[in-house]
Amino acid sequence: MISRVNYPIWSITSWLIALALMAPVAVMVFSGLTANSDTLTHLWQTVLPHYVVNTLLLALYVVVLVILFGVPTAAIVSLTNLKTRNVLRWALLLPLAMPAYVIAYLYTDLFDYAGPIQRQLRALFSWQSPNDYWFFDLRTLTGAAVMIALVLFPYVYMLVRTAFEHQDPQLIKAGKSLGLSDKQCFLRISLPLARPAIAVSASLVLMETLADFATVQYFAVNTLTTAVYDTWLEYGELSTANAIASLLMIMVLLSVAAEYRARAHQRHQLSASKEPLTMIILTPIQQIIGNIYCWLLVLAGFIFPFVLLLDMTIQYLDSTEFEQLIQAGMNSLKVSIYAATIASILALFLVLYRRLSGVKRSEVPLLLSGYGYAIPGTVLAMALLATFGPLDHWINDLAVWLNLSKPGLVLSGSLFAVIFALITRFSAIANGTITSGITKIPQSLDIAPESLGVGKLHTVLKVHLPLLKSSFIVAWLLVFVEAMKELPAVLVLRPFNFDTLSTQVYQMISDERLEQGAIGALFIVLFGLLPIIVLNKKEKIH
Amino acid sequence: MFKTLLTKFTLLTCAIIPLSFAYAADEVNVYSYRQANLVKPLFDVFTKQTGIKVNVVFAKNGMAERLAREGEHSPADILLTTDISRLVELQDKQLLQPVKSIVLETHVPAHLQSSDDTWFALTTRVRNIYSAKRLGNISINYEDLSDPKWQGRVCTRSGKHPYTVALVSSMIAEHGEVKTLEWLKGFKANLARKPQGNDRGQVQAIHQNLCDLSLGNSYYFGKILTNPEQKVWADEVNINFPNQGNRGAHINISGVAMAKYAPNRAHALALMEFLISEKAQQLYAETNMEYPVREGVPLSQLVASWGAFKADNLSLVTIAKHHKNAIKLIDQAKFDL
Amino acid sequence: MSDILTINQLSVSLQKNTILADINLSLTSGEILGLVGPSGCGKTTLLNTIAGFNQLNSGSIIIDKLCINNTNPVPAEKRNVGVIFQDYALFPHLTVWQNIAFGLSKETKEEQKLRIEKLLILLGLMPQAQKFPHQLSGGQQQRVAIARSLAVRPKILLLDEPFSNIDARLRNGLMIELRHLLKSLNISAIFVTHNKDEVFSFADKIALMHHGKIIQAGTPREVFDHPNCWQVADFLQIGSWLPVNVREKQVSTVLGDFTVEDLILNNGEHFVLLVKPQYISLIPGNANSVVKHISFTEHGYHYLLSSIDSSDPLAFEDLSFYSQSLLSLEQEVRLQLIPHSYQLFAHQTHSFST
């Protein structure tokens, strides 16, 4: 048996981090246990079944769509000789930079009955009323699913593409030698082998979807998230809201766990591929179709909304209050940098603990710390207030007892709460990225340095950290961008006079005047491009 | 290499900010449900007049919870809300403190302030019914929205919006729950599209001939008319004061209250009294197209042009009392689905 | 017996580098060919080209009347050629049974079941049928790979270093087992290896490749007894090399002189003599060699010797020699060539390592 790290401090710290990140989740669930059953009954008898169905449908549609968008594009880019694949490789990541609520607003504006497209059509065909013609209604469940899928599919694309690229090319050859065509090889070998990647990325998307509020609200689609907000804000029952949110989270975790179990017996060894994959050669018609499919997604998910934003920005440049904008931008940077840095360092810590301790339970802190991802931001914010509020009271009581001046709400009333919320929310992303980085480090490297007389801690510093550098940077950037986009948690928890780009943009959107917030949205998008540039660069080096 | 990278990150992040803010003495802290662009100009004038800085957090949701959690350590002095039920909710949760002020007592009409002096209305707004110009001048009641003759010709925003909920509460007060539910179901059946958007969107929809009627707030209509791009929509639309032949149009308020543990009471009081001052009330009227509560403050020219109207004199407290039942009925009618 | 595989003047270039040039090869049904050669000589490319994973540039491959050339590049899946990969390339997401069933889609369920069961029994995999590849030992994995290939009844089986991942102790047994299996099913096979011992115990025929060409092909015996150039002898480690000086028909070496009759001399060519260990004897007299290395083998002591006088232009190094008598390190002895049919090879460079 290989000797393993056994630093009690490391293990205790890991558990403490996990518990801290878990605390709001636990508070939410416990609060949910005291829910008023009358309200739940009333909701169940009236709207809740509908919300549940909507939620399931939305989740289903989004997952199906992101798979439809993400997997074929990943396959086309990694397995075929498509002409523009070198550009598409990174272009397909661009939609990641676009917040769903912005794209939702832009497209609704465009395709609404009152929007320019339908206006033009009516003018062209002299239709008078909506009864004269049929036009798709974007403000529907399907519309919301499409909007969310358009900006989230790059997660699937990114992970599945990597999976395809790391597949052992010999498996495909084996398939061919057994008489399978390119298509059959793809369907029966490449695709099943990419299943873990598809599952993991789809579950990320699933959690993002269920936590989304701004988009579904804007689209007037009532989901369980709506129910959470309604019970809390309208019925004034936070604990019932927490109960529903807990149910929502449990649903997500169960589905993720079920998928994980289903493939638990399959061990997929990634081979460091020795030879390049043989490309599937496309016929000219397939070239055209492939290009159209991929580019349509890039166009719809990024280029088009980006141009619209740019256009609005230029139009309203005169009325832009730059001072406010810069302030909000700085604030966004502040909280995002903090959140990204801390979340990545914590993830590094937890991942290394799990890897080097080798005991089975060391996986638990890593798992626990990722639960926050499945909780809608505002619910999380409420849970945080419930967690830190009492702590703050104790701190103040203690200060009074010690005859010191009261420090005030140092935890729940400061940026600490905002940053903590962002970390809780996005730890899962950092954990996932760094975990996938560490699995690429051969296990033998954990012990090889010891044979050279180098201590464990030194090994971590000299071997693991340098090898994890690029995963760390990617994790940092992904959390950074998500934090830039995150809205509801920041909205409730922020201190006085504190606006971020996303709260500014959201306020404009909820007032149906995105035009004037376009420049803020543009900045969010531009910051969102950073990780894509870095991801692309990183690949080129390899 | 990695270590230096980490160090850089840490230095960068530490350099950017201290985490918590320190507040100086000449300040007053506001938790606002009202949007920044609506109240910011008012605060600017206040600061200019008094030298007291106004710190604000804007959020539509969660302010009451935040206040409750913060308890005696809350930095909040003033709460600004847009809906009567919000104020009553704060009052019920005992998050407010009574304010004894001759100024407020005198200038806020008695029926627009709470009996225990915890909250005061600053402006009123009417729940109007917008109608298409092509219908001509009509006289309409809220009750008519469920009339089958408007089948497929009615639009509205979400039934859960506080303005709609308050209207439903007033319907319950007038007709009882059973009839109100029937009304909601009829209203729902008449909708041209699922409840969505805000009041501006409804005006736009009427302009686009998607529907003929819609619920809408008076000040929204005013704001649309003063927006050069949106004015074209409003030009197709009339604003009507419902129920003029009977109980009168439903009104709601925007209000102000002082937090129970307000640390800067004197400044908070100053701000409250400022908000009822002629100057502030005039700003409300002019820039927000609201009805100021202070007597003698002129309406904006535009709002005045809509003429005088009869307001429902149902007590605000009654409306707030029915809030929860109203929500239940709206869910029962599956209004938003 | 008819040829199951014929390769005519095959050339392959990858990224503008010629990997294979003018390959000619044929294989009769049931015959096993061992393809040997140093790393990078093109063995794997030849396998890949036969299997259809590479395009060919010129020449043709005929697999059981199916002619593949530039104008008719039959895709891999249509060639009916089985491939066993070095690391077996088992599908990790499928069980043993599903792996074997993988290529069987045209057959009825009943036929599939019969065939898979037969293979499982034949290869002793029945208890493993429901396991996943990662639960199997290396030898079991190999047998699954073989079963999977055989299930689709290939015309030829290509094996890429099939024994390199197998425990040395088990290797011999497996080779014999596999040879019997292929022979009993009358399946032709080509396998690639680095290891000459594998060829000698597994193949009917050997082809030696060097720089993208087949430099000699024949039965192992033919090739071993009559290597046609020094690369063949060198790669197969048939013997050691002794520098020679040739004048007319007179050949002189440090270990003795002799004459040869049929040597054709080209100007500027250097020659070396291939000396198999059995053609060297230890005799009393003036020492000419010194013991540099001793190892013990099942054939007795194995010695490597060098000339005492390393400045001699004909000095040799690492001459391989077996003896039952024990010598000590650095002991100086006298060696002598035993007269036999001498094999001289032309060689361009002076240093050759084995």
Q: Which chains touch C (3 or more CB pairs under 8 A)?
A: A
Contact status of B11 with chain A (Cβ, < 8 Å) = no
pLDDT level of residue A267 (50, 70, 90 thresholds): low
- Tell whether the model's pLDDT for residue B11 goes beyond 60: no
Query: Which 3 state secondary structure label does DSSP give A401?
Result: helix
Chain A contact set for C82 (CB, 8 A): 177-178
Task: Tell me whether residues A220 and B89 touch, CB distance under 8 A.
Answer: no
Residue A518 forms part of a structural domain: no
Question: Which among A42, A235, A496 has the least Cβ separation from residue B56?
Answer: A496
Structure tokens at C221: 């015996």
- Beta partners for B31? B57, B79
Total domains in chain A come to 2
Write the DSSP assignment of C270-315 as a string of letters. Answer: EEEEEE-GGGEEEESSS--EEEEEEEEETTEEEEEEEES-TTSTT-
Residue A456 forms part of a structural domain: yes
Of the residues C81, C86, C93, the best mutation for testing chain A's interface (the one with the most A CB atoms within 10 Å of its CB) is C93
Q: Calculate how close chain A gets to C155, using CA atoms only, in Å.
A: 11
One-letter amino acid at A442 equals P
On whether the CB atoms of residues A159 and C57 are closer than 8 A, the answer is no
| Closest residue by Cα to residue C39 from C6, C86, C82, C71 | C86
Contact status of B134 with chain A (Cβ, < 8 Å) = no
Of the residues B327, B329, B334, B335, the best mutation for testing chain A's interface (the one with the most A CB atoms within 10 Å of its CB) is B327
Task: Tell me whether residues A193 and C89 touch, CB distance under 8 A.
Answer: no
Q: Which domain holds residue A439?
A: 1-27+338-493
| Interval B296-337: pLDDT, tens | 999 998 889 988 899 998 988 899 999 989 998 998 998 988
On whether the CB atoms of residues A372 and A25 are closer than 8 A, the answer is yes
Phi-psi region of A162 (alpha: psi -120 to 50; beta: other; left: phi over 0): alpha
Task: Tell me whether residues B209 and A128 touch, CB distance under 8 A.
Answer: yes
Distance CA A1, CA C134 (A): 20
Overall average pLDDT of the C74-78 stretch: 84
Residue intervals of chain C classified under CATH 3.40.50.300 are 3-234
Distance CA B137, CA B245 (A): 15
Overall average pLDDT of the A376-391 stretch: 81
Contact status of B12 with chain A (Cβ, < 8 Å) = yes
| Closest residue by Cα to residue B237 from B212, B262, B220 | B212
| Interval A312-343: pLDDT, tens | 888 888 777 788 888 888 999 889 999 999 99
- Tell whether the model's pLDDT for residue C268 goes beyond 60: no
ipTM over 0.95: no
On whether the CB atoms of residues B211 and B153 are closer than 8 A, the answer is yes
Chain B contact set for A236 (CB, 8 A): 89, 324
Q: Calculate how close chain A gets to C193, using CA atoms only, in Å.
A: 18
| Closest residue by Cα to residue B62 from A493, A470, A226 | A493
On whether the CB atoms of residues C79 and C156 are closer than 8 A, the answer is no
The confidence score (pLDDT) of residue B25 equals: 65
In this structure, the dihedral spanned by the alpha carbons of residues A515, A519, A523 and A529, taken in order and rounded to 10 degrees, is 60
**Contact of chains B and A by CB distance (3 or more pairs under 8 angstroms):** yes
Whose structure tokens read 């710290």?
A13
Distance CA A358, CA A33 (A): 35
Q: Are residue A50 and residue A9 in the same domain, yes or no? A: no
With an 8 Å Cβ cutoff, the interface of chain A facing chain C consists of 168, 170-171, 173-181, 184-185, 188-189, 192-193, 195, 265-269, 271, 278
| Interval B140-152: pLDDT, tens | 999 999 999 999 9
Residue A345 CA neighbour count, 13 Å, CB half? 14
Chain A contact set for C52 (CB, 8 A): 176
On whether the CB atoms of residues C290 and C230 are closer than 8 A, the answer is no
Instruction: Give the chain C residue nearest A278 (alpha carbons).
Output: C53
| Exposure string over B19-32, b if 16+ CB within 10 A, otherwise e | bbbebeeebbbbbb
| Interval A464-498: pLDDT, tens | 888 888 888 888 988 998 898 887 788 778 887 78
- For chain C, give the mean pLDDT: 85
Residue A504 forms part of a structural domain: no
Instruction: Give the chain B residue nearest A41 (alpha carbons).
Output: B328
Q: Are residue A180 and residue A242 in the same domain, yes or no? A: yes
Of the residues A334, A497, A515, the best mutation for testing chain B's interface (the one with the most B CB atoms within 10 Å of its CB) is A497
CA dist C19 to A131, A278, B65, C57, C127, Å?
A: 70, 17, 75, 10, 43
Contact status of B25 with chain A (Cβ, < 8 Å) = no
With vertex at residue A304, the alpha carbon angle to CA A301 and CA A306, rounded to the nearest 5 degrees, is 90
- Beta partners for C72? C69
Distance CA B16, CA B11 (A): 9
Distance CA B334, CA A42 (A): 12
Q: Are residue A44 and residue A164 in the same domain, yes or no? A: yes
Task: Tell me whether residues C89 and A168 touch, CB distance under 8 A.
Answer: yes
Q: Calculate how close chain A gets to B296, using CA atoms only, in Å.
A: 31
On whether the CB atoms of residues B101 and B273 are closer than 8 A, the answer is yes
Chain A contact set for C90 (CB, 8 A): 174
CATH of domain C3-234: 3.40.50.300
Contact status of A472 with chain B (Cβ, < 8 Å) = yes
Q: Is the dihedral of CA A87, A93, A99, A104 positive or negative?
A: positive
Distance CA A399, CA A406 (A): 6
Give the range with max mean pLDDT: A198-207, A374-383, B170-179, C183-192. B170-179
Q: Which chains touch B (3 or more CB pairs under 8 A)?
A: A
One-letter amino acid at C313 equals P
Overall average pLDDT of the B274-280 stretch: 93
Contact status of A228 with chain B (Cβ, < 8 Å) = no
On whether the CB atoms of residues B156 and B282 are closer than 8 A, the answer is no
Q: What is the pTM of this model?
A: 0.80
The confidence score (pLDDT) of residue A274 equals: 53
- Tell whether the model's pLDDT for residue A268 goes beyond 70: no
> Residue B250 carries which DSSP code?
-
| Interval B65-97: pLDDT, tens | 788 888 888 889 999 998 888 888 899 889 999
- Note the helical H segments in chain C: 43-51, 96-101, 109-122, 138-151, 168-185, 196-202, 220-225, 230-235
The confidence score (pLDDT) of residue B172 equals: 95
Residue A498 forms part of a structural domain: no
Question: Which among A176, A181, A266 has the least Cβ separation from residue C93?
Answer: A266
Residue A119 forms part of a structural domain: no
A371-375, A411-415, B20-24, C102-106 — which is least confidently predicted? B20-24
At a CB cut-off of 8 Å and minimum separation 6, what does C352 contact?
C230, C234, C241, C272
Distance CA C164, CA C43 (A): 15
Distance CA C335, CA B308 (A): 131
| Closest residue by Cα to residue B256 from B268, B238, B241, B239 | B268
Question: Which among C85, C132, C152 has the least Cβ separation from residue A265?
Answer: C132
Task: Tell me whether residues A497 and B10 touch, CB distance under 8 A.
Answer: no
One-letter amino acid at C2 equals S
On whether the CB atoms of residues C133 and C144 are closer than 8 A, the answer is yes
With an 8 Å Cβ cutoff, the interface of chain C facing chain A consists of 48, 51-53, 75-83, 85-87, 89-94, 102-103, 132, 134, 148-149, 151-152, 154, 158
On whether the CB atoms of residues C307 and C319 are closer than 8 A, the answer is no
Residue A474 forms part of a structural domain: yes
Instruction: Return phi, psi of residue A109, to 5°.
Output: -55, -40
Distance CA C144, CA C132 (A): 11
Query: Which 3 state secondary structure label does DSSP give A302?
Result: helix
Helix (H) or strand (E) holding A478: helix A465-485
Contact status of B223 with chain A (Cβ, < 8 Å) = no
In chain B, which among 149-188 make CB contacts under 8 A with chain A? 158, 160, 165
* Centroid of chain to Cα B169: 15
Distance CA B335, CA B164 (A): 11
**Contact of chains B and C by CB distance (3 or more pairs under 8 angstroms):** no
Length of chain C: 354
Distance CA C240, CA C321 (A): 9
Structure tokens at A92: 């397909």
In chain A, which among 374-393 make CB contacts under 8 A with chain B? 378, 381-382, 385-386, 389, 392-393
The confidence score (pLDDT) of residue A265 equals: 58
Q: What is the CATH number of the domain that holds A400?
A: 1.10.3720.10
Distance CA B138, CA A18 (A): 64
- Tell whether the model's pLDDT for residue B223 goes beyond 60: yes
Residue A526 CA neighbour count, 13 Å, CB half? 13
The confidence score (pLDDT) of residue B269 equals: 94
On whether the CB atoms of residues C351 and C298 are closer than 8 A, the answer is no
* Centroid of chain to Cα C167: 19
Residue C304 CA neighbour count, 13 Å, CB half? 9
Contact status of B58 with chain A (Cβ, < 8 Å) = yes
Instruction: Give the chain C residue nearest A262 (alpha carbons).
Output: C93
Residue A208 forms part of a structural domain: yes
All structural domains of chain B = 27-124+251-299 (3.40.190.10), 125-250+310-332 (3.40.190.10)
- Tell whether the model's pLDDT for residue C263 goes beyond 70: no
- Tell whether the model's pLDDT for residue C278 goes beyond 90: no
Distance CA A283, CA B63 (A): 60
pLDDT level of residue A264 (50, 70, 90 thresholds): low
The confidence score (pLDDT) of residue B16 equals: 40
Task: Tell me whether residues A220 and B19 touch, CB distance under 8 A.
Answer: no
Overall average pLDDT of the A405-420 stretch: 83
Q: Calculate how close chain B gets to A483, using CA atoms only, in Å.
A: 15
CA dist C278 to C175, C290, C318, Å?
A: 28, 18, 15
- Tell whether the model's pLDDT for residue B1 goes beyond 60: no
Question: Which among A178, A267, A271 has the least Cβ separation from residue C103?
Answer: A178
Q: Are residue A89 and residue A217 in the same domain, yes or no? A: yes
Q: Order across the sheet with C256-259: list the strands.
A: C245-247, C250-253, C256-259
pLDDT level of residue A221 (50, 70, 90 thresholds): confident
Give the range with max mean pLDDT: A299-308, A422-431, B199-208. A299-308
Write the DSSP assignment of C126-156 as a string of letters. Answer: GGGTT--GGGS-HHHHHHHHHHHHHHT--SE
Overall average pLDDT of the B213-219 stretch: 90
Cβ neighbours around B249 below 10 Å, total: 22
Contact status of B209 with chain A (Cβ, < 8 Å) = yes
Whose structure tokens read 């989901």?
A223
